[in-house]
Amino acid sequence: MVHGPALPSDFWGTVAEHVTEKVEPVLMQGQRARTPVIAYLRDLEALARRECDSRQVIQIIASGRRILGDHVEVGAKDGPFSRT
């Protein structure tokens, strides 16, 4: 889970760069290297679904997970942004 102090107020505006920084280094590596990044992105997506009102942010995070091979659905099936 994403721990620590609250995210800076401008974090969601830089999420595309943040996700890219997490995904690119493990993109050409095996599942063992990808697993912790996928778990982090799942937690980040769950946090975004609770705290961020931007569908685009959630789509960026979900895309990063899918690029790494993760197809697990995060969030409630009938909640906000459930069709992202």
Greater pLDDT, 58 or 77: 58
Predicted pLDDT at 33: 97
What stretches of 6-75 adopt beta strand conformation (E)?
none
What is this structure's pTM?
Answer: 0.81
pLDDT band at 3 (very low <50, low <70, confident <90, very high): low
Q: How far apart are CA 36 and CA 57, in angstroms?
A: 20
- Which stretch of 9-13, 15-19, 72-76 has the lowest confidence by average pLDDT? 72-76
pLDDT band at 60 (very low <50, low <70, confident <90, very high): very high
